[in-house]
């Protein structure tokens, strides 16, 4: 058991029967009344962020989370198959746990978080940027880089991404997995 004095950003704890991580916290000692800790906590499974206040000295149940690197193999419907890059053990994860499953291509490396006590997968974080090839888009306009106009393009994973007019089929682009938006064209 730990107390509020052990709070730090990223600490994982059990609160109301669920796993939460501390996003930010602030110890407050008012002139009148007891001290308390004002926090923003994030639900590990749903990603929901709440503001919560703990009275100073309250006991909390700290949980251990392990991050492991896995390689994406394939999917069968909503079940995605991953392989541990160290011991070649395979694990299966639901589509809902992955931050951007439509941008996931075979061989991509991801970070999977496991709850240490139950050894169950909690979340799957993709890299911030992925490089994907354009498989279909309307023909591009050469030199049309001044306008802020976008068109639809289908990438190799089947997802549709908005790209600038000068992008053509066969080009490789960098896509931000957090926003699912085009970032830049990449030479491969």
Question: Residue 173 pLDDT more than 90?
Answer: yes
Q: Judge contact between 184 and 173, C-beta under 8 A.
A: yes
Mean pLDDT of the chain: 88
Average pLDDT score over residue span 4-17: 88
- Sequence-distant contacts of 41-47: CB under 8 A, at least 24 apart: 41/13, 41/15, 43/18, 43/19, 44/12, 44/18, 44/19, 44/20, 44/113, 44/122, 44/123, 45/18, 45/19, 45/122, 45/123
* pLDDT at position 166: 84
* pLDDT at position 6: 87
Q: Judge contact between 155 and 162, C-beta under 8 A.
A: no
Average pLDDT score over residue span 79-105: 89
* pLDDT at position 146: 61
Question: Domains in the chain and their CATH numbers?
Answer: 2-62 (2.30.30.30), 65-125 (2.40.50.140), 129-186 (2.40.50.140)
pLDDT > 70 fraction of the chain, expressed in percent and rounded:
96
* pLDDT at position 144: 62
């Amino acid at each position: 058991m730990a107390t509020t004095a052990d709070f730090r950003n990223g600490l994982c704890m059990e609160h109301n029967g669920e796993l939460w991580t501390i996003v930010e916290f602030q110890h407050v000692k008012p002139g009148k009344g007891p001290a308390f800790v004002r926090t923003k906590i994030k639900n590990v499974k749903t990603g929901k962020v709440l503001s919560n206040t703990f009275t100073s000295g309250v006991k909390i149940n700290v949980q251990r989370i392990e991050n492991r690197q896995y390689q994406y193999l394939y999917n069968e419907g909503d079940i995605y198959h991953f392989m541990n890059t160290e011991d070649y053990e395979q694990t299966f994860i639901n589509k809902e746990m992955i931050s951007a499953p439509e941008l996931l291509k075979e061989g991509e490396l991801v970070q999977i978080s496991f709850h240490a006590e139950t050894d169950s997968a909690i979340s799957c974080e993709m890299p911030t940027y992925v490089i994907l090839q354009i498989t279909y888009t309307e023909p591009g306009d050469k030199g049309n880089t001044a306008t802020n106009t976008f068109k639809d393009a289908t990438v190799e994973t089947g997802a549709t991404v908005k790209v600038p007019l000068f992008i053509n089929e066969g080009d490789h682009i960098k896509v931000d997995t957090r926003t699912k938006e085009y970032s830049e064209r990449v030479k491969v």
